[in-house]
Amino acid sequence: MKLADLPTPALVADAETLTFNLDTMAEALPGRRMRPHVKAHKCTALARRQAALGHVGFTCATIRELEGLAAAGLGEDLLLANEVLDARRLGVLDARVTVAIDSDETLRAAVEGGVREVLIDVNVGLPRCGIAPEKAGALADRARAAGLEVRGVMGYEGHVMGEGDVDRRREATEASMVLLRQAHEDVGGDVVSAGGTCTYALNTAATEIQAGSYALMDRTFTYPDLPFRPSFWIHASVISVSEKFAVLDAGLKALSMDHGNPELDEGAGKVWFCSDEHTTFAPSKPVRPGDRARVWPMHVDPTVAKHERLHIASGDDVIETWEIDLRGW
């Protein structure tokens, strides 16, 4: 199949760039140093590529993701880096499952669900989940008293990912890791799990990094210090042309807008706005209905979750099609 044969809108990744991103991370963080976060791509086929490079432990955001990885034979070491109040679906999986907890309620859910191993989720600055660092040790003690194995701690410095200056990003990462190390001293265990694509080379405190976006790569985070390159786009068709603008058949229901407007290839034109099924843009050169364009979303994770499959392309050829089989809950 050729790219021109794809029904649009279609989610496409460039095979060579994807391979470059995967290989670059595997070289930088080999084996257990890297625990890829599958929330970014929600695709067991891509997870198999990561496992083949030595990254056999995975981070997940949903129970559905753990179930899918376990069913695919990728359950050697799965971490649900998210709080859940009903873990019954986890305790029956044929996989090693570790769950993040930050309260007595999530501790109780792990016990009742048959989960045997946990990490203490620590708030290191991102106003999301996580217990206060000074309370982490006491929660770990209660978890052990309840019969759970506490493997260590996790904390996500997600609030620093948007800092483009590498020195300020490093400083902010180190400040967050001071909090996580303090908590780890009280909690114990072998695991200090943290980090993301934008801090993978800066976070030296973690025993494992939970990067996810690097494979397809957020266009928002193409900082000079990061080697990863955007490898995916929405293949779209021009469906209407007016005097000053044209319209593509990919809109809000095909791509995420939480990090801003998508972009077109350099020299193709400027995006004006997106609506449900359309992207309106000012073309840099004349276009006609039926012409194809590459629309580059700024944020990987929520864009991928809108699609049923990912087409892998080499030049104009579609060489593989992967199911986005970890979508939903």
Looking at residue 79, which CATH number applies to its domain? 3.20.20.10
Q: How confident is the model at residue 21, as a pLDDT?
A: 98
CA 279, distance to chain mean position in Å, is: 25
Q: Are residues 197 and 60 both part of a single domain?
A: yes
Q: How confident is the model at residue 118, as a pLDDT?
A: 98
Strand arrangement of the beta sheet that strand 208-209 belongs to: 57-60, 77-80, 97-101, 117-121, 149-155, 191-194, 208-209
Structural domain contains residue 189: yes
Q: Are residues 235 and 172 both part of a single domain?
A: no
Q: Are residues 91 and 31 both part of a single domain?
A: yes
Structural domain contains residue 328: no
From 218, 244, 263, give the residue that closes a domain. Answer: 218
Collapsing DSSP to helix, strand or coil, 314 comes out as strand
> How far apart are alpha carbons 84 and 283 in whole angstroms?
47
Using CB atoms within 10 A of its CB, is residue 147 exposed (0-12), middle (13-18) or buried (19+)?
exposed
CATH number at residue 308: 2.40.37.20
Q: Are residues 49 and 100 both part of a single domain?
A: yes
Q: Are residues 47 and 132 both part of a single domain?
A: yes
The model's pTM: 0.97
**Contact yes or no for 133/124 (Cβ under 8 A):** yes
Q: Are residues 204 and 247 both part of a single domain?
A: no
Q: Are residues 56 and 186 both part of a single domain?
A: yes
Q: Are residues 119 and 255 both part of a single domain?
A: no
Structural domain contains residue 32: yes
Q: How confident is the model at residue 61, as a pLDDT?
A: 98
From 183, 218, 253, give the residue that closes a domain. Answer: 218
Tell me the H-state helices in the chain: 15-28, 44-52, 63-71, 104-112, 136-145, 166-187, 300-304
Taking only the tens of pLDDT, the chain with its 329 residues reads 999 999 999 999 999 999 999 999 999 999 999 999 999 999 999 999 999 999 999 999 999 999 999 999 999 999 999 999 999 999 999 999 999 999 999 999 999 999 999 999 999 999 999 999 999 999 999 999 999 999 999 999 999 999 999 999 999 999 999 999 999 999 999 999 999 999 999 999 999 999 999 999 999 999 999 999 999 999 999 999 999 999 999 999 999 999 999 999 999 999 999 999 999 999 999 999 999 999 999 999 999 999 999 999 999 999 999 999 999 99
Structural domain contains residue 80: yes
Q: Are residues 207 and 67 both part of a single domain?
A: yes
Q: How confident is the model at residue 102, as a pLDDT?
A: 98
Structural domain contains residue 329: no
Q: Are residues 31 and 145 both part of a single domain?
A: yes
Peptide bond into 262 cis (omega under 30): no
From 197, 218, 239, give the residue that closes a domain. Answer: 218
Structural domain contains residue 274: yes
For 279, half-sphere exposure in the C-beta direction (CA atoms, 13 angstrom radius) is 34
Structural domain contains residue 86: yes
Q: How confident is the model at residue 78, as a pLDDT?
A: 98
Q: How confident is the model at residue 274, as a pLDDT?
A: 97
Q: Are residues 7 and 20 both part of a single domain?
A: no
Q: Are residues 134 and 234 both part of a single domain?
A: no
Structural domain contains residue 71: yes
- CA distances (Å), origin 99, targets 51, 139, 191, 232, 252: 20, 14, 13, 31, 33
> How far apart are alpha carbons 227 and 225 in whole angstroms?
7
Could you give the number of structural domains in the chain?
2
Determine the structural domain holding residue 101 and report its residue range.
14-218
Structure tokens given for 119 = 């990490």
